[in-house]
Amino acid sequence: MVGLSVDTIPKLWRLARLDYDPVRQRPILLYPEGAVLLNETGAAVLELVDGKRTVGEIAAILGERYQTDVSTDVAEYLAGLADRELIQ
Amino acid sequence: MTSDRPTTLLAELTHRCPLHCPYCSNPLELIRAEAELTTDEWKRVFSQARELGVLQLGLSGGEPLVRKDLEELAAHAHSLGLYQTLVTSGLGLTRKRAEALKDAGLEHVQISIQDSDTESAERIAGVSSVKQKRAAVALVQELGFAFSINVVLHRANLDRIGEIIELAGSMGADRLELANTQYYGWGLKNRATLMPTREQVQRAKEIAEAAIERYRKKMQIIFVLPDYYEQYPKACYGGWGKTYIVVAPNGQALPCHAASMIATLSFPTVRDHSLEWIWQESPGFQAFRGDSWMKEPCRSCPRKTVDFGGCRCQAFALTGDAANTDPVCTLTPLRHIVDEGIAEAGAPAEWEYRVLAGEPQRA
């Protein structure tokens, strides 16, 4: 999959909400008629999506946190969600 | 067998409705107001649903705004963290109620539109409704709700799908559901009148597909093909008793809103049992989980993990046996039943409006 470019400023779809499901004990993305159960890294990416940071800035923050280059993973993960119109 | 956790509860709060659409998804035998669950009973159902793992709540009906306690129910659901959608005709959505629902934490409102043409829309609804719907749309926009429009498509409006999409776009919808009529209950009763022709469906599909691209990132468009024109059946809610629970106005819990028509099964009510017992243990919810119930051609078919044999309600409605392959499937010798239904398209017929038993038919 082609990732989003580093300069893209991803924004969560207006109808989607990042939440935590205490029953499944998993972070979760909720939107009309649907839900995506997230893993820890997916949630870490989405928590940084605020409509201001670029893909590059998000990758840099996480790269520092995990002490490894995550830029390709972040760009592809967000592209996957953009393809489903959950990221705009 | 072990069950998955449900994700969605559709709460049919009431069957009362000011509209009389001839394709209504409610059963032919509508439940009367006296039999509806009380406010406290609904709250208990929402709490139990959340504990069971439900994330999405549809506040539906009938017309849910008929319930005076809707705001209280929405506030309770919000306190549980449920993502709520109000599924409404828009009739009865006054400013006062819309503001109260916003305060209660309701996030998403879905308003039905019958057609882009006013005269046709009101003929389909069986009642003057367009002006009130426009007012409801304006309120929903003004108060900043997430906003969907839902349109049920059939022979009488399918040729205007382009105009319908433009109308939804001009109303500022975030999301547009274009759902072809499903033939259960009222829809099945009126099938000869509602069934579109193959040419209509083909043209509509092309227009919808082009619009999906054109509206990308502005309005999400979901177009559902009529399953009669498909080669394989739909995977109803990802399989029986897998993700979805419907609770009817009287508390009867069902794996699908049409399941009460399956006369060979009985479904318990939330008045007698916890939702957890109903989901995990009740025979009705267990009946078609997994694949041990399947007959041929499903049993040996690789698609059984894709579409789970299709819709049990449709199999029952059209073949009399809910364990048969959904007759939409072109791999079953029962397919001729669906083809005969398609052949009715274009037959001159008047539809029968959705009314309570004993209520007069509408002109």
Taking only the tens place, the pLDDT of each residue in B100-149 is: 999 999 999 999 999 999 999 999 999 999 999 999 999 999 999 999 99
Q: What is the pLDDT of residue B1?
A: 43
**DSSP string of B141-183, one letter each residue:** HHTT-EEEEEEEE-TTTGGGHHHHHHHHHHTT-SEEEEEEPP-
- Would you state the pLDDT for residue B31? 95
Residue-wise pLDDT for A54-88, tens only, equals 999 999 999 999 999 999 999 999 999 998 889 98
* CA trace torsion B225, B293, B28, B251 (10° rounding): -110
Q: How many helices (H) and strands (E) does chain A have?
A: 3, 3
pLDDT of residue B345: 82
Tokens of B340: 């005969």
Strands A26-31 and A34-37: antiparallel
Establish, for the pair of chains A and B, how many residue pairs have beta carbons separated by less than 8 Å.
43
CB A75 within 8 A of CB A4: yes
Give residue A31's pLDDT: 93
Identify the burial level of B40 via C-beta atoms within 10 angstroms of its C-beta, where 0-12 means exposed, 13-18 middle and 19 or more buried. exposed
d(CA B296, CA A73): 44
The number of residues in chain B equals 363
Q: Which tens digit of pLDDT belongs to each residue from B140-183?
A: 999 999 999 999 999 999 999 999 999 999 999 999 999 999 99
Q: Which residues of B touch A28 (CB under 8 A)?
A: 55
pLDDT band at B363 (very low <50, low <70, confident <90, very high): low
Band of pLDDT at residue B3, cut at 50, 70 and 90: low
Interatomic CA distance for residues B64 and B88, integer angstroms: 7
Say which amino acid occupies B168. A
Q: What is the mean pLDDT of residues A8-33?
A: 93
- SS3 at position B223: strand
Residue B219 confidence (pLDDT) above 70: yes
The whole-number average pLDDT for the span B334-357 is: 88
**B20-30 pLDDT, tens digit each:** 999 999 999 99
DSSP-derived secondary structure for B290-347: SSTT--TTTTT-TTHHHHTTS-HHHHHHHHS-TTSPPTT-TTSGGGHHHHHHHHTTT-
Residues on chain A bordering chain B, Cβ-to-Cβ distance under 8 angstroms: 14-15, 17, 19, 21, 23-24, 28, 30-35, 85, 88
Q: pLDDT band at residue A11, thresholds of 50, 70 and 90? A: very high
The tokens for B164 are 């319908």
At residue B295, the pLDDT reads 94
Instruction: Choose among A14, A28, A30: nearest Cβ to B174.
Output: A14
Inter-chain residue contact A21 with B53, CB threshold 8 Å:
yes
Strand runs (DSSP E) across chain A, as ranges?
A: 17-21, 26-31, 34-37
Does B217 score more than 90 pLDDT?
no
The mean of the pLDDT values for chain B is: 94
For position B238, what pLDDT does the model report?
87
| Chain B residues contacting A via beta carbons under 8 Å | 5, 7-8, 50-53, 55-56, 81, 83, 85, 107-108, 110, 146, 148, 174-175, 216-217, 220
Looking at the partner chain, which of A19, A24, A32 has a beta carbon nearest the beta carbon of B148?
Answer: A32
- Give percent of chain B above pLDDT 70: 99
Mutation site, B47, B82, B83, B150, interface A, largest A CB count within 10 A: B83
Closest Cβ opposite residue B7 in set A19, A32, A35:
A35
Q: What is the pLDDT of residue B236?
A: 84
Give the helix/strand (H/E) hosting A81.
helix A71-83
The tokens describing B284, both together, are: 């009705």
| 8 Å CB contact between B349 and B337 | no
> Going along B172-264, which residue ranges are E strands?
175-180, 220-224, 244-247, 253-254
Contact B83 A31 (CB under 8 A): yes
- Dihedral sign computed on CA atoms, order B167, B171, B172, B175: negative
Residue B363: both structure tokens together: 């002109």
> In whole angstroms, what is the distance from residue B136 CA to residue B173 CA?
12
SS3 B116: coil
Contact criterion met (CB < 8 Å) for B83 and A35: yes
Interface predicted TM-score (ipTM): 0.88
Tell me the average pLDDT across B61-90.
97
For B252, the 3-state DSSP assignment is strand
- CB contact under 8 Å between B85 and A32, yes or no, is yes
Q: Judge whether residue B265 has pLDDT over 60.
A: yes
